[in-house]
Structure 1
Amino acid sequence: MRLLIAEDNSALGAFLERGLEADGHEVTLVFDGDSAADAFVSQTPDLMILDLSLPRKDGIEVLRFIRSVNSETFVLVLTARTEIETRIHCLDLGADDCMSKPFSLQELRARCRALMRRRGGSGIVLRYADLEVNRVERSVARAGQPVLLTNKEFALLECLLLARGRSVSRTDLLERVWEMNPTAGTNVVDVYVNYLRRKLNDTTSNPLIRTIRGQGYSIGLNA
């Protein structure tokens, strides 16, 4: 899932970024309200973690802006303010949840998972043929049997499924999954596609992951 964190405390922001990336999420971290609004528009995250005490534009202003342009993305507000009126105000403005500082990373991760489950499966569970990928629980099954993947293997499979029916180039996969410059070489993509194929038992004459000559890889597109 794509997450956007707006937190002016760089140490706390980095802590949240590491913790959520460890769950396999794609995380963007910004430190002020203007950057938060810009990143929200350009990246359309699945969930935003928004601190109220932001410079340049505070969290309340950012929340108002977000809800003026998008009513669907989940917003989890973080605040050091203790008064209940602040939390009520945020919820009335469209926040989906509020957490008071200090907080437990384990609880924040659980609350993020709970928010994403509210979608009722739309965009959360990706399916193709007998393959099923749950983007919140980070689980994969083929023909009903669980498949254990590493974070990078999961991200690669997710990227291919989100582009189902279209080919994705090796350079695009390198940028999206590994956040690496394509000049670093694309051999790592081929290596991980082979890992995925073995784990998915994708060795039949009609494979799930197809190599599209001169283009890249695809799920749901004939070679």
Structure 2
Amino acid sequence: MPKILIVEDEELIASFIAKGLEAEGVASTTVGTGAEGITLGASGDFDLMVLDIGLPDMSGFEVLRHLRGAGATLPVIILTARSSVTDTVAGLTGGADDYMAKPFGFTELLARIRLRLRDQQPDAMLLTHGDLSLDLRTRRARAGAKEVELTARESALLEAFLRHPGEVLSRERLLSLAWGYDFDPGSNVVEVYVRYLRRKIGTQYFVTEYKQGYRLA
């Protein structure tokens, strides 16, 4: 089982990521300072780091420089409220393996984590259930002989269903899984995107459970 180190001082976000990983059977450890991130990141005990830029004692860029300077090779995914091209380039050229701007959907973060760990988990990027499958790298879904290309959000929603086949997922749960921690609970966006998936893939795959949510047949 891979072990993920979360270096994030915002408690809400750290808890959101940790709980999501736990639900997927992935072990994680959370710390709130750059100094702790450097110590644990260089220990060799973790397979990947999720690193916030805005830490209280130093920036995530400094943490990254320390780790790469010490020869640490674990993959690092940077999380930040900054999304400028300059910051993105600084993170990637500084040794980060990926870069995500806040707010983010957990399923997208999970897909990126699995992508960085693909050498250890070669089948992690293809999800299947019956004759329905989704390639997380290309966002292409196959339903029987039919193949369609999905948008990023459609792919995230389908991934949520495929990771919980047969389980009734409430609107709130789907919002959390596919739209992230910064969602509007009053939004009808889930209904809209379920309709998109039904149109592209087939109505028979997505069952409406009255007053409960949706289920992948």
Normalised to the residue count of structure 2, the TM-score between the two structures is: 0.54
Structure 2 distance, partners of 1:28, 1:54, is: 16
Q: 2:35 touches 2:57 (CA, 8 Å); kept in 1?
A: yes
Structure 2 distance, partners of 1:92, 1:102, is: 23
Q: Which residue of 2 aligns with 1:93?
A: 94
The answer for unaligned runs of 5 or more in structure 2 is: 128-217
For 1:85, the aligned partner's letter is T
Q: Which residue of 2 aligns with 1:9?
A: 10
The CA RMSD measured in Å over matched residues stands at 2.1
Tell which structure's C-alpha radius of gyration is larger. 1
Moved over 3 A (4+): 134-137
Which residues in structure 2 correspond to 1:192-203 (within 5 Å)?
none
Structure 1 distance, partners of 2:43, 2:72, is: 16
Structure 2 distance, partners of 1:43, 1:135, is: 24
Deviation, 1:69, is 2.0
Deviation, 1:97, is 0.4
Percent of paired sites with the same residue: 38
For 2:62, the aligned partner's letter is E
- Report the 3-state secondary structure (helix = DSSP H, G, I; strand = E; otherwise coil) of the residue aligned with 1:42: coil
Q: Deviations over 1:49-78 (max 9, x none)?
A: 000000112101001011112353110000
Q: Deviations over 1:2-39 (max 9, x none)?
A: 10000110111011001011111110100111111112
Q: Which residue of 1 aligns with 2:111?
A: 110
Structure 1 distance, partners of 2:77, 2:42, is: 17
Structure 1 distance, partners of 2:35, 2:72, is: 19
Which residues in structure 2 correspond to 1:1-223 (within 5 Å)?
1-117=2-118, 119=119, 124=120, 136=124
Structure 2 distance, partners of 1:43, 1:71, is: 8
Q: Which residue of 2 aligns with 1:168?
A: none
Structure 1 distance, partners of 2:57, 2:49, is: 18
Normalised to the residue count of structure 1, the TM-score between the two structures is: 0.52
The answer for unaligned runs of 5 or more in structure 1 is: 126-133, 140-223
Structure 1 distance, partners of 2:115, 2:43, is: 25
Deviation, 1:82, is 2.5
Q: Residue 70 and residue 25 in structure 1: after superposition, are their counterparts in 2 closer, same or farther (change >3 A)?
A: farther
